[in-house]
Homo-oligomer: A and B are copies of this chain.
Amino acid sequence: MRSASLCVTCPNRELGFCGALLESSSQSAADELPNWQRFLTARAGDQIATRNQTSGDVFVLCSGWAFRFLQLPDGRRQILNFLLPGDLLSVVTIFDKQYQFSAKAVTGIQLSGFVRSEILARCKVSPGIQSAIGRCCVEESRVAGELVSVLGQRSADQRIAYLFLHLMNRIRARSVVRDHRYPLPLRQQLIADAVGLTPVHVSRVLGLFRDRGICVLSDNVLNVLNPAELERIGAIG
List residues of chain A with CB under 8 Å of any chain B CB. 68, 70-73, 76, 78, 80, 90-92, 94-96, 100-101, 124, 131, 134-135, 137-138, 140-142, 144-149, 151-154, 195-196, 235-237
A69 nearest in chain B by CB position: B149
Q: A91-B137, A152-B196 are in contact. Are A145 and B101 (CB under 8 A)?
A: yes
Specify the chain B residue showing the minimal Cβ separation from A95. B134
Judging by beta carbons under 8 Å apart, are B152 and A78 in contact?
A: yes
Contact assessment for A70 and B146 in the assembled complex, using a CB-CB cutoff below 8 Å: yes
Q: Is B236 a contact partner of A137 (Cβ separation < 8 A)?
A: no
Residue of B nearest to A93 (CB): B138
Kindly report which residue of chain B lies nearest to residue A133, judged by CB atoms.
B95
Q: A92 and B153: CB pair below 8 A?
A: no
Main secondary structure, interface of A, reads: helix
Residue of B nearest to A51 (CB): B237
- Which of chain B's residues has its CB closest to A237's CB? B73
| A140 closest partner in B (C-beta) | B141
Neighbouring B residues of A146 by C-beta, 8 Å: 70
Q: With contacts A95-B131, A144-B148 known, what are 8 further pairs, Cβ within 8 A?
A: A80-B145, A90-B141, A92-B137, A92-B141, A94-B134, A144-B144, A148-B148, A152-B195
Q: Measured between C-beta atoms, what is the minimum distance from A183 to chain B in Å? A: 25
Across the interface, name the chain B residue whose C-beta is closest to A72: B237
- Given A100-B145, A144-B145, A144-B148, is A236 in contact with B153 using a C-beta cutoff of 8 Å? no
Nearest chain B CB to A191 CB, angstrom units? 12
Minimum C-beta distance from A16 to chain B (A): 14
CB-CB nearest in chain B for A146: B70
Q: Is the CB of A95 within 8 A of B148?
A: no
Residue of B nearest to A131 (CB): B95
Q: Which residues of B contact A235 (CB under 8 A)?
A: 73
**A70 lies within 8 A of B237 (CB):** yes
7 smallest CB-CB distances across A and B, nearest first, come from A152-B196, A95-B134, A78-B149, A151-B151, A144-B144, A73-B237, A70-B149
Which one, B76, B91, B131, B141, contacts A144 given CB within 8 A?
B141
Bound Cα distance A138, B95 (Å): 7
